[in-house]
Amino acid sequence: MSDARGPLAGLLVADFSRILAGPYATMLLADLGAEVVKVEGPGGDDTRSWQPPVRDGISTYYLAVNRNKRSIALDLKDPEDLAAARELARRADVLLENFKPGGLARFGLDYDAVAAGNPRVIYASISGFGSGPKGAVLPGYDLIVQAISGLMSLTGDPDGEPFRAGISVFDVMAGLHATIGVLSALNARHESGRGQHVEVNLLSSALSGLVNQSSAYVAGGVVPLRMGNSHPSLFPYEPLPCSDGELIITAGNNGQFRKLTEVLGVPELAGDPRFDQNEKRTANRAALRPLLVERLRTRTRMEWFGDIIAAGVPCGPINTIDAGVAFAEDIGLDPVVTLGAIPTVRNPITFSETQPSYRLPPPELDEHGAELRRWLTDEERSA
């Protein structure tokens, strides 16, 4: 069906997922050359109606994670459509789904049923809380996982309310973990000749992704709490006010802190016994912060930005999304690719030999249904 190039060219992915985690994973696979068939119910992916904002009447949420795919609308309760879905699963190298655990079993599209006719299939399932008896019944929404995992308890001002992250961070993280799982299983298939079932759930992705914060409890017995924009183990590593707004400054080691004090004109702070080691700076942040702010307030954030960066100390302004995209463009990252009339954000991976490709704009519902149905009923291909 495709002349796609890339490291995954030649692979067929049956995408039975919807909303974010699954579609994000399959879009990444598609960008790398896989042929992805997006299977939608008659009403389409839920995110088609998640608007505003829109681009030419289409939800930008949907557009974010569905390029390089072909869409077929199948009603799994209809015998002919179900037969097409099963044939697609039989031919697929990868099947990815995020139904409730066990939800596809009644259609004969669960792992055991699909693997019986396609033992080489990599079957990836994304759920909210796993497939165990207690987790399987829980609804798997990112916001709920942000709450249950503890992320919201870490987000916001110390004396304020817990906050959600600005994106569905664990949906994205689970999509990345699912992609890693699929690629690992494909590599294992080269040796064994067999596929396998890959399972990812949002809560496990969340606890893994909380990294130092979950480790603080698991390894150290410490329950982290909200610290606003401050870091529990580093200082300075937060926004600091300049004359016209805040600048993020992250002096992550003693050398960077020394360079920062030199740029600010207070080199004596680097030799102060209260501040000469990271642990001391973190413990004495209440004394150090006003000394840094006193100097920073004498100039604008962009004036300081240029000088601090030039000195080799990481820092950056707090941008809105439009300024973030503009910054990426300015430094040559080329963040936007346009397919037809639809601008999308470039795949973040670059290769020296097998670059990602951008072939198809996000499809309309059932846009490729007719050609896919013909292909799925081709007797020669079915043999």
Q: Where are the domains of the chain?
A: 12-211+335-382, 237-327
- pLDDT for residue 299: 97
CATH superfamily assigned to domain 237-327: formyl-coa transferase, domain 3 (3.30.1540.10)
> What type of residue sits at position 113?
A
Return the active site residues.
Answer: 171
The whole-model pTM stands at 0.94
Measure Cα distances from 76 to 87, 122, 309 in Å. Answer: 12, 21, 56
- pLDDT for residue 23: 98
- pLDDT for residue 4: 74
φ/ψ bin of 37: left (φ > 0), alpha (ψ from -120 to 50), beta (otherwise):
beta
Question: Degrees (nearest 5) of the Cα angle 322, 360, 349?
Answer: 60
Specify the length of the chain in residues.
383
- pLDDT for residue 381: 53
* Sign of the Cα pseudo-torsion (290, 296, 301, 304, in order): negative
* Residues of the chain below pLDDT 50: none
Distance from C-alpha of 123 to C-alpha of 199, rounded to nearest angstrom: 8
CATH annotation of 12-211+335-382: 3.40.50.10540
Are the C-beta atoms of residues 126 and 97 closer than 8 Å to each other?
yes
- pLDDT for residue 382: 53
Are the C-beta atoms of residues 13 and 47 closer than 8 Å to each other?
no
Closest listed residue to residue 316, CA positions, set 233, 240, 243: 240
Helices (H), 65-210: 79-91, 111-117, 142-149, 151-154, 169-192, 202-209
Distance from C-alpha of 151 to C-alpha of 227, rounded to nearest angstrom: 12
φ/ψ bin of 243: left (φ > 0), alpha (ψ from -120 to 50), beta (otherwise):
alpha
- pLDDT for residue 2: 63
- pLDDT for residue 301: 94
DSSP run (H or E) holding 26: helix 21-31
Structure tokens at 201: 């759930």
User: Residue 302: CB partners within 8 Å, gap ≥ 6?
Assistant: 317
Distance from C-alpha of 267 to C-alpha of 12, rounded to nearest angstrom: 60
> In the chain, how long is the greatest CA-to-CA distance?
80
For residue range 161-214, what is the model confidence (pLDDT) as tens digits? 999 999 999 999 999 999 999 999 999 999 999 999 999 999 999 999 999 999
